[in-house]
Amino acid sequence: MVAAKEKKEVLVSEAHVLGQKALENVELPASEIENDFGADVFEPVESEKKKRTPRQSKKSESERAIDEVKALVVLKLSVQRGRRDVANVKPLLEKLFSNEDITEEEAKQLLSQIDSLGNYVKLRQEYRAAREKARPALKMFEEAGLSEDDAPTLQ
Instruction: Give the model confidence (pLDDT) of 23-82 as tens digits.
Output: 555 554 555 444 444 445 445 555 555 556 556 558 888 888 899 999 999 999 999 999
For residue 74, CA distances in Å to 112, 122, 123, 133, 142 come to 25, 14, 11, 14, 22
- State how far the Cα of 36 lies from the Cα of 16, in Å rounded to an integer: 26
Number of helices (H) and strands (E) in the chain: give both, helices first: 6, 0
154 located within any domain: no
Q: How many CA atoms lie within 13 A of 30 on its CB side?
A: 0
Of 48, 44, 64, the C-alpha closest to 56 is 64
The least confident of 86-95, 103-112, 137-146 is: 137-146
- Whether residue 25 is found in the same domain as residue 82: no
CA distance 112 to 119: 13
Does one domain contain both 31 and 70? no
pTM of the model: 0.51
Query: Quick one: 139 and 67 in the same domain?
Result: yes
- Structural domain count, the chain: 2
Is 47 contained in some domain? no
Domain membership flag for residue 155: no
Higher pLDDT, 139 or 10: 139
% of the chain with per-residue pLDDT over 90: 37
Print the domain residue range for 133.
Answer: 61-143
What is the reported pLDDT for 139? 86
What is the rounded distance in angstroms from the CA atom of residue 116 to the CA atom of residue 81? Answer: 11
Per-residue pLDDT at 25: 56
